[in-house]
A and B are shown apart, each in its own frame.
Chain A
Amino acid sequence: MTAPGAGGRGRRRLRGGPGSVVPAAEIRTYYDRPVLKQPVWTWEIPAYFFTGGLAGASASLGAIARRRSHPLLARAARRIALGGVVVSPALLVSDLGRPERFHHMLRIFRPTSPMSVGTWVLTVFGPAAGASAVLAELGWWPRLQRLAETVAGGLGPVMATYTAVLVADTAIPVWHEARHELPFVFAGSAAASAGAAATLLAPAAEAGPARRLAVTGGLLELGAAEVMRVRLGEQGEPYRLADAGRWSRAATACTAAGTALIGLGGRRRRAAAVVGSALLLAGSVCQRWAVYRAGFISAADPKYTVGPQRRRIEERG
Chain B
Amino acid sequence: MTGYDDGQPRMGFFTDTSVCIGCKACEVACKEWNGVPENPFAWTGESYDNTSGLGANSWRHVAFIEQGGGQFAAGSGESTSAGHSASAGQSAGQAEDFRWLMSSDVCKHCTTAACLDVCPTGALFKTEFETVVVQEDVCNGCGYCVPACPYGVIDRREEDGRAWKCTLCYDRLKVGEEPACAKACPTDSINFGTLEAMTAMAADRLDVVVAAGRAGAQLYGDGPSGGVDGTGSVFLLLDDPEVYGLPPDPIATSKDLPSMWGAAAAAAVTLVGAVVAAFVGGRR
Binding site for B on A (CB under 8 A): 2, 5-9, 27-31, 33-41, 57, 60-61, 64-65, 68, 70, 95-99, 101-102, 104-105, 107-108, 110, 112-116, 119, 156-158, 160-162, 164-166, 168-172, 175-176, 179-184, 186-187, 190-191, 195, 205-210, 212-213, 216-217, 220, 267, 295, 299, 302, 305-306, 309-310, 312-313
Contact = CB atoms under 8 A, between A and B. Distances in A.
A170 B147 contact: yes
Contacts, number: 280
A101 B259 contact: no
Nearest to A97: B141
Given A101-B140, A157-B272, A108 B121 contact: yes
8 contacts: A7-B67, A65-B279, A97-B157, A104-B138, A115-B120, A161-B268, A171-B251, A179-B259
Contacts of B246: 35
Given A171-B114, A310-B249, A33 B267 contact: no
Interface string B264-284: 111111111011111100111
B162 interface: yes
A113 B118 contact: yes
A62 to B, nearest CB: 10
Contacts of A310: 242, 248-249
A175 B266 CA distance: 18
What 8 A-B pairs have minimum CB-CB distances, sorted nearest first? A97-B141, A97-B161, A30-B245, A6-B68, A8-B66, A183-B267, A101-B140, A157-B268
Interface string B218-258: 00000000000000000000001011111111110110110
Given A169-B257, A172-B147, A208-B283, A183 B120 contact: no
A180 B283 CA distance: 34
Of A7, A112, A113, A295, chain B has the most CB atoms within 10 Å of the CB of A113
Main secondary structure of the interface of A (DSSP, over half): helix
B144 to A, nearest CB: 5
Given A96-B142, A97-B140, A169-B148, A164 B267 contact: yes
Nearest to B112: A112
B192 interface: no
Contacts of B245: 29-31, 33, 35, 302
A132 B255 CA distance: 37
B123 interface: yes
B254 A169 contact: yes
Contact of A57 (B254, B257, B271, B283): B271
A165 B44 CA distance: 37
Chain B interface extent, by class: 35 or more
A112 B117 contact: yes
Nearest to A157: B268
A169 B269 CA distance: 21
Contacts of B67: 6-9
Given A8-B46, A114-B257, 6 more contacts: A8-B67, A31-B245, A35-B151, A98-B140, A108-B120, A114-B118
The interface centre, meaning the residue of B151, B163, B249, B266 with most chain A CB atoms within 10 A of its CB, is: B249
A5 B274 contact: no
Given A36-B150, A310-B249, A180 B274 contact: no
Residue of B49, B153, B279 with most chain A CB atoms under a 10 A cut-off: B279
B260 A104 contact: no
Q: Which of A2, A36, A65, A158 has the most CB of B within 10 A?
A: A36
A302 B271 contact: no
The interface centre, meaning the residue of A8, A37, A98, A107 with most chain B CB atoms within 10 A of its CB, is A37
Nearest to A68: B279
Contacts of A165: 257, 260-261, 263-264
Contacts of B274: 191, 213, 216-217, 220
Contacts of A216: 274, 277-278
A40 B143 CA distance: 6
A174 to B, nearest CB: 11
Contacts of B261: 165
B118 A112 contact: yes
A101 B120 CA distance: 12
A213 B269 CA distance: 14
Given A2-B46, A164-B267, A116 B156 contact: no
Contacts of A68: 279
Chain B CB within 10 A, most for which of A57, A115, A195 = A115
| Residue in B53, B142, B250 with the greatest tally of chain A CB atoms within 10 Å | B142
A169 B256 CA distance: 8
Nearest to A313: B249
B270 A64 contact: no
